[in-house]
């Protein structure tokens, strides 16, 4: 058995799971998510747990088994607690404004940079910090990566957008002549 796939997913109170032909619907207090059913796996709801099994022991089936269970776990966490990623902006003259689904940033370019978040994602700004939150883990990570890609942190002074807690490896500048 897959180490991850064999673990059952606990269903907290207030969450309903519906297994369909092509996808599994997870509904909770924060919203509803749909998880596609992966190849060679079957999903059963037993009491207050979701159990994922695979049809054979082929290596590909083992991989799908673990993936299916992880996607279901993320959906259950998303509809109950939600996910968030924090980014920080470092740099002289860099500014941040807005919130909700649209933010505007001054990142050292000749024009302000606007970013519109997709449906289901909320952006919060606090001084020089952006918080990306939502119920879909994949979307939250994708939006955070897209915002970071607008101005990646550079290795000499560390200016740019980085994740909170991310360590940027610094390079030494030019060595002076003697």
93/118 Cα distance (integer angstroms): 28
pLDDT value, residue 2 = 58
Domain that holds residue 104: 83-163
pTM over 0.85: yes
Q: What confidence tens digit (pLDDT) does each residue in 16-58 have?
A: 999 998 999 999 999 999 999 988 889 999 889 999 998 888 8
Does the pLDDT of residue 123 top 90, yes or no? yes
> Residue 101 phi/psi, 5° resolution?
-115, -5
Residues 33 and 40: their CA atoms lie apart, in Å, by 21
Instruction: Note whether 71 and 143 are same-domain residues.
Output: no
Give yes or no: residues 31 and 94 share one domain.
no
pLDDT digits (tens, 9 = 90+) for 126-157: 989 999 999 999 999 999 999 999 999 999 98
* CATH number of the domain that residue 103 is part of: 3.90.930.12
Tell whether 168 is covered by a domain: no
In a domain, 54, yes or no: yes
Q: What is residue 142's predicted lDDT score, i.e. its pLDDT?
A: 96
Given a cut of 80, is residue 177 above it in pLDDT? no
The pLDDT of residue 39 is 81
CB of 54 closer than 8 Å to CB of 39: no
What does the alpha-carbon distance between residue 149 and residue 174 come to, in Å, rounded to a whole number? 26
- Average pLDDT of the chain is 91
Question: Are 43 and 88 members of one domain?
Answer: no
- Can you tell me the distance from the alpha carbon of 118 to that of 77, in angstroms, rounded to the nearest whole number? 20
Q: Find the angle CA(173)-CA(169)-CA(147) to the nearest 5 degrees.
A: 110
Mean pLDDT over 109-113 rounds to 93
* Whether residue 128 sits in one domain with residue 90: yes
Tell whether 4 is covered by a domain.
Answer: no
Residue 155 lies in a domain: yes
Residue 173: inside a domain: no
29 close to 78: Cβ distance less than 8 angstroms: no
Amino acid 25: pLDDT: 94
Domain co-membership, 31 together with 54: yes
Verify that 88 and 73 share a domain, yes or no: no
87 close to 132: Cβ distance less than 8 angstroms: yes
Residue 24 pLDDT: 93
How large is the average pLDDT for residues 69-78?
Answer: 94
């Amino acid at each position: 058995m897959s180490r991850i796939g064999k673990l059952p997913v606990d269903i907290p109170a207030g969450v309903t799971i519906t297994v369909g032909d092509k996808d599994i619907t997870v509904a909770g207090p924060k919203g509803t998510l749909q998880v596609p059913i992966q190849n060679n796996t079957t999903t059963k709801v037993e009491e207050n747990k979701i159990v994922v099994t695979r049809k054979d022991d082929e290596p590909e089936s083992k991989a799908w088994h673990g993936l299916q269970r992880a996607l279901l776990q993320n959906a259950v966490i998303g509809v109950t607690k939600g996910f968030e990623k924090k980014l920080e902006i470092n740099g002289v003259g860099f500014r941040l404004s807005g919130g909700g689904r649209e933010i505007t940033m001054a990142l050292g370019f000749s024009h302000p940079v606007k970013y519109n978040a997709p449906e289901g994602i909320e952006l919060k700004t606090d001084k020089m910090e952006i918080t990306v939150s939502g119920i879909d883990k994949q979307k939250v990570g994708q939006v955070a990566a897209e915002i970071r890609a607008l101005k990646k942190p550079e290795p000499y002074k560390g200016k740019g957008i980085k994740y909170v807690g991310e360590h940027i490896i610094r390079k030494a500048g030019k060595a002076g002549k003697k």
